[in-house]
Chains A and B, each alone.
Chain A
Amino acid sequence: MLKIENLSVAYGGIEALKGISLEVEEGKIVTLVGANGAGKSTMLRSIVGLVKPKAGSITYQGKNLFAVKRHDLVKNGIALVPEGRRVFPDMTVLENLKIGAFTRKDHQEIKADLEWIYTLFPRLKEREWQAAGTLSGGEQQMLAVGRALMSRPKLLMMDEPSLGLAPLIIKDIFNIIRKIHSQGMTILLIEQNANAALHLADVGYVIETGRITLKGTGKELLDNEDVKKAYLGESVVAKK
């Protein structure tokens, strides 16, 4: 569905991505884990055209994504839950959800999807009229996920949806991810919470300072000694 090949990105002189390749197959959950500054967000920002890669290609359903305008991505079925949520703070929860469906014209279906989002996140329904900027961090994250879902994406990309959230909320968010995946959505999940992400994922990639260093099924990576040491620190400590 999505294929990234030899992607290189540089900010000024600093190379953030040094030729990475990654593939997301339809219907799968693919996760990319890596430390701070490894280049995870840079990769997502390249997909949505927020940074201009130096080299490499990104194809989506056989199409060269660089030729697709940013505001047409969503029509092509690509949605992003950006790093740091980026909800529109002055708009209400409802408006934020509606802007997720900005390019859609099927009003009846939009209504139905709104109800669906509210069943996924009942908290959002309670706060329909609240300005998004006044929501708690966790609620904002739910809103960012809900907003992305409102476009009825084929490919949902999420940049660290668990960042800064309490363990209980993280569990909720991951449960939701599992749920929407079971309803047929393809997911590219970026996480530092490697443990949870790898448990969920069909395929995992490990990125280190701009290079993919490991690739495998979620389970393979969970069992990998290097991964354990570098990213699953907690469980190593737990075993002691």
Chain B
Amino acid sequence: MMNFNAVFMYLTGMDLGTFLQHLTNGISLGSLYALVAIGYTMVYGTLRLINFAHGDVFMMTTYFAFYGVSTFMMPWYVSFILAIILTGALGMLLEKWAYRPLRDAPKISIMISAIGASFLLENLAVVLFGGRPKAFPSVKILTDSIQLGSVSIQKLTFVIPIVTVIFLVGLLYLINHTKTGMAMRAVAKDYETAGIMGVNVNLTISQTFAIGSMLAAVGAIMWGLKFPQIAPLMGVMPGLKAFIAAVIGGIGNIKGAVIGGFILGIGEIMIVGFLPSLSGYRDAFAFIFLIVILLFKPTGITGEKIAEKV
């Protein structure tokens, strides 16, 4: 073990413990990107729409959770669960008010509506919650650190990937083995025929938004615990990166979104870890990586052909 560590250090200039710390950090950041990316990819898969408001829906969750604990004095777990449910409802309302009326309109109209919805949520948050950042409720059992040999690691670093995996397994089960999931896949491929088969297309699209938003909400809560400062524009950067993750993985494909999320999260942390002098360019990494992927594999890593729906 000592020898291996020495060799590793010689090769990478970093000792194994530090490397593993970066890796776990990267995995947990990647989990959060993955959870948010799924929402982009599911909505794109169904409506061929980039839901620009998704990052702002993510932001709203943290405020729901904040007010649940601070104003309504709920226990944290009640507040978090309620915040997730409220976010699901918000996603459904977003679809109903901003996108459904434009479903048969040209794609550009619905895209503009998405941008408008994003601005609306951001500004609504400023008006309702104030522009000044607030402190996300801290939950000691989750944010404590544990001592592993010489390094101390926040429990959250393990909690995040575990929670993510649980939700991913649940999602894949839902999509592949339930009637609702079958309806979602059918609507995504061909909503006209799905409707003729008796699938309620509006309901199914609503459910798609609810699920995508709730997964983002799970991500948002863990994000709040990890980076406990919330603000009306906090959803923009994670939203953008999760979108990039979805594109890198092959938008429309759920597994791709997860893979893209992990690549982006781990890559971002590793760049900073190995090349600390570049840490100022941390956010640029995602964009550079996106450009590289798009150059070599325009349809993303999972490489599904994107059949343009007309």
| Chain A residues proximal to chain B, CB less than 8 Å | 48, 50, 69-75, 79-80, 82, 86, 88-91, 95, 98-100, 102-103, 147, 151
Contact = CB atoms under 8 A, between A and B. Distances in A.
A196 B185 CA distance: 36
Contacts of A70: 195-196, 201
Q: Per DSSP, are chain B's interface residues mostly helix, strand or loop, or mixed?
A: helix
A147 B193 CA distance: 11
A72 B195 CA distance: 9
B197 A151 contact: yes
Interface of B: 179, 182-183, 185-186, 189-190, 192-201
B189 A89 contact: yes
A136 B182 CA distance: 23
Given A89-B189, A90-B189, A80 B196 contact: yes
A71 B199 contact: yes
Contacts of A99: 182-183, 186, 194, 197, 199
A88 B196 contact: no
A220 B298 CA distance: 58
Contacts of A102: 179, 182-183, 197-199
Contacts of B182: 91, 95, 98-99, 102
Contact of A50 (B186, B189, B192): B192
A98 B177 CA distance: 12
Most B C-beta atoms less than 10 A away, residue of A71, A72, A74: A71
A71 B195 contact: yes
Contacts of B200: 69, 71
Given A74-B198, A102-B179, A102-B199, A86 B185 contact: no
A238 B190 CA distance: 42
B190 A88 contact: yes
Given A74-B196, A91-B186, A102-B182, 8 more contacts: A50-B192, A90-B185, A90-B189, A91-B185, A95-B182, A99-B186, A102-B179, A147-B197
Nearest to A87: B193
Which 8 A-B pairs rank lowest in CB-CB distance, beginning with the nearest? A74-B198, A103-B198, A70-B195, A86-B193, A102-B198, A71-B200, A99-B197, A102-B197
A79 B197 CA distance: 8
A95 B186 CA distance: 10
A99 B182 CA distance: 8
B235 to A, nearest CB: 32
Contacts of A86: 190, 192-193
A91 B192 CA distance: 16
Contacts of B183: 99, 102
Most A C-beta atoms less than 10 A away, residue of B189, B192, B197, B198: B197
Contacts of A100: 197
Contacts of B194: 99
Contacts of B186: 88, 91, 99
Given A88-B189, A91-B185, A75 B196 contact: no
B201 A71 contact: yes
B204 to A, nearest CB: 9
A69 B202 CA distance: 11
A100 B196 CA distance: 9
B305 to A, nearest CB: 11
Contacts of A89: 189
Contacts of B198: 71-75, 102-103, 151
Contacts of A79: 196
19 contacts: A70-B195, A70-B201, A71-B195, A71-B200, A71-B201, A73-B198, A74-B197, A75-B198, A82-B192, A86-B190, A88-B185, A88-B189, A91-B185, A95-B182, A98-B182, A99-B182, A99-B199, A102-B182, A103-B198
Contacts of B189: 88-90
Contacts of B201: 70-71
Nearest to B201: A71
A50 B182 CA distance: 22
A233 B239 CA distance: 62
A38 B120 CA distance: 48
A69 B199 CA distance: 11
A82 B197 contact: no
A102 B201 CA distance: 13
B196 A48 contact: yes
Nearest to A151: B198
A147 B200 CA distance: 17
A125 to B, nearest CB: 20
A100 B200 CA distance: 13
Contacts of B190: 86, 88
Nearest to A133: B189
Contacts of A82: 192-193, 196
